[in-house]
Amino acid sequence: MTWHHLPKWMGGSRMRPVFFDKLCVHQHNPELKRWGIRSFAAFIARSDNMLLLWSPDYFKRLWCVLELAAMVRCVQCKDPDTEEDDNRLPLIIIPVRLAVFGVTMNALMACTLLPVTILDGLGM
């Protein structure tokens, strides 16, 4: 299991890739960090939407601004003749405090469903 498959283990029914920048881009090894930064633009280009966990200091972090700018650029570069969506920015904004509550609830749910999932996987 990787962080990309976390929603499946959090009680979701479909396996959908998820990109957590802090977890998917190495924070200490410079070579791995460069590789991760080069890769995230391609991931954003193929994303259906972006979840922005907003806090008052969000725009003080260059990394966050870079990701948001990449999403805006990807939307602008879509070919309107081949894309069914219009130029709306696929952005979901949630305050961090609300997100912490949601993640906590999902973690509790995952803890209660994990034994059932394991037993089901073992055919029991």
Q: What is the pLDDT of residues 50-73, one digit of tens each?
A: 888 888 888 888 878 888 888 888
Q: DSSP 3-state assignment of 104?
A: helix
User: Tell me, what's the pLDDT at 3?
Assistant: 44
Mean pLDDT across 28-33: 88
User: Tell me, what's the pLDDT at 1?
Assistant: 37
Does pLDDT of 2 surpass 50? no
Q: What is the pLDDT of residues 71-120, one digit of tens each?
A: 888 877 766 665 555 667 788 888 888 878 888 888 898 888 888 888 88
Does pLDDT of 6 surpass 60? no
Closest CA to 90 of 57, 68, 106: 68
